[in-house]
Amino acid sequence: MNKHLEQLVKLSKFDKDIVGFEPQIKGQNDKLKVFLKTVDELNEKINKLYVEIDDSKNKRIKNDIHLKELADRIKEINTKYDSVKNEKEAKALQLEEEIAKEQIAFANNEIVRLDEISSSKEKILEELKIELKQEETDVEELKNSISANIEELESKREVVYKEKSELVEKIDGKVLSFYEKIKRWAGNSAVAPIKNQACYGCHMKLTNRAYSDFLVTEEIFTCPHCGRIIYKEENQE
């Protein structure tokens, strides 16, 4: 292969590799984001549960206070029974006592219901706390492995950069600017291999005439269809 062409094939590969590092680094950061999002969601659920448990406990306290008041009222009613003068007064007292007893029954049911809510939410809360702790440990481990991976990718990229700049130094100025010109529109496929007589940049087949010219030339050859620099892959017959 022509020496200039050989350099351009290498250069194009370096350029491709350099571009390839960015999505790999981003992929690592995205992985971490997924885990951090889970931690956030768990924290949110836990905070919501704390508020809800607090709310049902406050309601229970109110019911407790109400029960005490009702017990006092029953006592009061009972003392009044001794001084009842007629049946009408007795009936009124009885009615008052019945209402108080109904309210006591209702408050007791409420307390049972609120306690059940609190205890079931507390159970969920404990489970979520365990889950959160595990998730936080995972995040910590992941952070370490991700930053190690990113560091490794960055140092590999550094090596490719260095190799590329060493290569660029050696490339003839005219050849390099020819490559850069094509690269401006073709991006990282500025140099494309020919496989089965077709250009792998534009996927068009070379005519037999163009192909035989291409096979014998010692010069840098461009695809007659798209203008990319083309080369014959070494391992191809």
Residues near Zn ion (CB under 5 A) are 199, 201-202, 223, 225-226
Smallest gap from residue 226 Cβ to Zn ion (A): 3
The smaller minimum CB distance to Zn ion, of residues 113 and 225, is found at 225
In the complex, minimum distance from the CB of residue 192 to Zn ion, in angstroms, rounded to a whole number: 6
Considering beta carbons, is residue 58 or 212 the nearer one to Zn ion?
Answer: 212
| Min separation Cβ 217 and Zn ion, Å | 16
Residue 144 Cβ, how far from Zn ion at the closest point, in Å?
46
176 or 190: CB nearest Zn ion: 190
Which DSSP string do the residues of the chain spell out, in sequence order? --HHHHHHHHHHHHHHHHHHHHHHHHHHHHHHHHHHHHHHHHHHHHHHHHHHHHHHHHHHHHHHHHHHHHHHHHHHHHHHHTT--SHHHHHHHHHHHHHHHHHHHHHHHHHHHHHHHHHHHHHHHHHHHHHHHHHHHHHHHHHHHHHHHHHHHHHHHHHHHHHHHHHHHHS-HHHHHHHHHHHHHHGGGSEEEEETTEETTT-PBPPHHHHHHHHH--S-EE-TTT--EEEE-TT--
When the beta carbons of 16 and 45 are compared against Zn ion, the nearer one is 16
